[in-house]
Structure 1
Amino acid sequence: MTKKLTERQKLFADEFLVDLNAAAAYVRAGYKARGNAAESAASRLLRDVQVVSYLAERRVARTERVEISQDEVLRELRAIMTSDANGIVQYRRNCCRHCWGVDFKYQCTPNEQEQRRKEYEREAGKLMMQGTSPDLIPPFDELGGVGFNKKRDPNPACPECFGDGRGEIFVEDTRKLPPALKSLYAGVKLGKDGLEVKLHSKDKATELVARHLGMLKDKVEVSTSDELAARMLAARKRRAKDGGGG
């Protein structure tokens, strides 16, 4: 007589399919063992014929239901695992206002300098209307000149910032991210400390890829389940093609 799958074994298998973590699934299913004992017991369960068969059926059903293959999932995980987070969020050390100014004086942008000049002319005009001699009005201070570009690297010789520049967090326009970085990007949140950019975990993606590729402890059991699932799916498609249904 074929042994039936118990409800707890079924719950273990369902939990295992959530994150492919056998020991954690064993605990979540309500078994008492913990630590190494849980890993050993979970490993034995994953070799149980009924559990393997149930996992295979669940994977076949899930694949057909969502129409997503394991290859597609792995490609998405690989994109998360290999993407460079600097393509989304960067911490930059940019030049300060003095780095590239003439004689290391405060440097302005063209618009800032124009506004300063207009303000100077207004104040100078007021002084002359009050009878101040033009010779007594100091000339416009050009400071460090124009051309400030905060994206430039710090000047190592700058006496103001000592070559360290100014720190700045820069976030890319997420609407224009390439596909690989869109996989890594998980959204933004405004909190009391400002904008928080959320990214999918590269460590978690790496772990899941490793599990799917059979690189971790449960590699034998996972690969066996995957192979059985693939065979069952192929058989089901053959029956459907031959008109056999089921």
Structure 2
Amino acid sequence: MKLTEKQKRFCEEYLVDLNATQAAARAGYKDPNIGRQLITKNNVSQYIEKLRKEQAKRTGISADKVINELAAIAFSDRTELAKVDDYGVVRLTPTDRLSTEAKKTISGIKEGKYGTEVSSYDKLRALELLGKHFGLFTEQMTAAGEQELPKLFKALEEGDDESIEPEPEESSE
């Protein structure tokens, strides 16, 4: 099914902030729920995907580039940015002597009250985004935990205080 001009406008607006409700409003729709409905339509989602690919090609942005930038922030050696000399004085490394990876971690440089201040992107946030992308943080209940819960509930129902006590851990000595 062919898209209307209004639906095409919605798709273009959706790429601005990936917010279906706001995109629908900017495209001229009155119903605040229409964005969620449009996004589920096959022809609309296909057009959005087409626009995304065109945008990625036009801007040169790819998933690999984003992952590489996040990896640079997450894994670069921050000690390359500055050194502490024998007298405890911090010496900033000139930017022309920094590795490309170290440069990618810098979010800003300014003259502050006490001298030059270098700020960097959040290493933990970069690690978190990479971990989520690669599925490293799946929340699963351990098999042992799954076995212990039914025992605990049964003991509570029966009023058996001894069953509630944790089992002593084996000594590794």
Q: 2:89 is matched by which residue type in structure 1?
A: E
1:14 lines up with 2:16 in the alignment:
yes
Within 5 A, what are the aligned runs for 1:1-246? 5=7, 7=9, 10-16=12-18, 25=19, 29=23, 47-89=40-82, 92=84, 151=86, 167-210=88-131, 212-213=133-134
Q: 1:56 is matched by which residue type in structure 2?
A: E
- Structure number, greater radius of gyration: 1
Could you tell me which residue of structure 2 aligns to residue 231 of structure 1? none
Identity %: 27
| Structure 2: distance between partners of 1:84 and 1:14 | 34
User: Over aligned residues, Cα RMSD in angstroms?
Assistant: 3.8
Q: Cα offset for 1:203? A: 3.9
- 5+ residue gaps, structure 2, are 26-34, 138-173
Q: Secondary structure at the match of 2:119?
A: strand
| Structure 2: distance between partners of 1:43 and 1:74 | 29
- The structure-2 alpha-carbon separation of the partners of 1:198 and 1:54, relative to structure 1 and needing over 3 Å to count, comes to farther
| Runs ≥4 residues deviating over 4 A | 1-4, 6-10, 26-31, 42-48, 210-216
Q: 1:80 is matched by which residue type in structure 2?
A: I
Could you tell me which residue of structure 2 aligns to residue 233 of structure 1? none
- On the 8 A contact 2:67/2:130 being kept in 1, the answer is yes
- The structure-2 alpha-carbon separation of the partners of 1:12 and 1:192, relative to structure 1 and needing over 3 Å to count, comes to same
The TM-score normalised by the length of structure 2 is: 0.52
| Structure 1: distance between partners of 2:73 and 2:106 | 9
- The structure-2 alpha-carbon separation of the partners of 1:44 and 1:179, relative to structure 1 and needing over 3 Å to count, comes to farther
Q: Cα offset for 1:30? A: 8.1
- On the 8 A contact 1:13/1:51 being kept in 2, the answer is no
Q: CA-to-partner distance for each residue in 1:94-152, whole Å, 9 max, x for gaps? A: xxxxxxxxxxxxxxxxxxxxxxxxxxxxxxxxxxxxxxxxxxxxxxxxxxxxxxxx52x
